[in-house]
Amino acid sequence: MSDYKLYCFAQSGNAYRAALMLNLIGANWEPVFVDFFAGAEPRTPKYRAEINEMGEVPVLAHGGRMLSQSGVILTYLADRSNQFKPASEDERLEALRWIIFDNQKVNGFLGPYRFLRNWAKPAPDDAVLRFLKARIDANLAIVDTRLARSPFVTGARPTIADISLTGYLYYPAAEFGFDIPATYPAIGQWLDRIKALPGWAHPYDLMPGHPLPGRGDA
Ligand SMILES: N[C@@H](CCC(=O)N[C@@H](CS)C(=O)NCC(=O)O)C(=O)O
């Protein structure tokens, strides 16, 4: 039996943060598939009553705990494993600063942008996509500038801030309509550094639900 269960699905970059962390720390874990696309499972009263009142993945089940919010899950796993853990109070605050910026403005915009482009019905108004894309461009540039200064977000070694920021960044360029690693070279090189860590896996290989039925390219 696994130590950890992660409620997730393959297309979720928010869940990927937690899945990647579990793999990188060598945890004994298994995914629990959440049917977001066909069943809108996180929106059901049952899911909200039994799994997460916020109606979201990821959720990490461990012992009697059900933890949600990827930043909380990353913090919990770093504390337990002593891996990817910020080493000082300053580094902890710096990592938290980037995790919040990421959740709100980097992957926090990339996730909905990709969902709207690929799967939303009815298709979104172009003005919505333009609004999100302009903010994504501005915020990826901020991350790129930071990563041009140091190999990882807070310095010489990777922490949970790096794992958080990977969220949607390994998904295919076709899903975004632009190539993130090619457009932002420091981000591209940093993605390669994370990819070289033992235990790294692509989100579509790590979590269940890809490809979507009838959507071999999703
Ligand atoms: N800040 C949250 C975001 C979680 C989130 O938005 N998850 C999406 C999936 S990618 C979700 O479950 N959405 C449910 C819905 O829209 O009904 C985290 O990092 O865990």
- Reduced to 3 states (helix: H, G, I; strand: E, B; else coil), residue 141 is helix
Q: What is the pLDDT at residue 216?
A: 45
| Residue 117, burial from CB neighbour count under 10 angstroms (0-12, 13-18, 19+) | middle
- What does the pLDDT look like over 111-168, one tens digit per residue? 999 999 999 999 999 999 999 999 999 999 999 999 999 999 999 999 999 999 999 9
* Domains recognised in the chain with CATH numbers: 4-83+201-206 (3.40.30.10), 89-195 (1.20.1050.10)
Nearest-atom index, ligand 1, CA of 167: 19
pLDDT of 210 above 80: yes
Ligand 1 environment, Cβ below 6 A: 12, 14, 42-43, 55-58, 69-70, 103, 111
On the question of pLDDT at 218 being above 80, the answer is no
How far is 184 from 190, CA to CA, in rounded Å?
10
Distance CA 8, CA 210 (A): 12
Question: What is the pTM assigned to this prediction?
Answer: 0.97
Give the number of other Cβ atoms within 10 Å of residue 218's Cβ: 18
Q: What is the pLDDT of residues 97-107, one digit of tens each?
A: 999 999 999 99
Summarize pLDDT for 180-194 with one digit per residue, the tens. Answer: 999 999 999 999 999
Q: Do the beta carbons of residue 207 and residue 16 sit within 8 Å?
A: yes
Nearest ligand 1 atom to the CA of 103 is 1
Tell me the CA–centroid distance for residue 42 and ligand 1, in Å: 9
Q: Residue whose CA is closest, atom 13 of ligand 1?
A: 56
Sign of CA dihedral 97, 103, 107, 110: negative
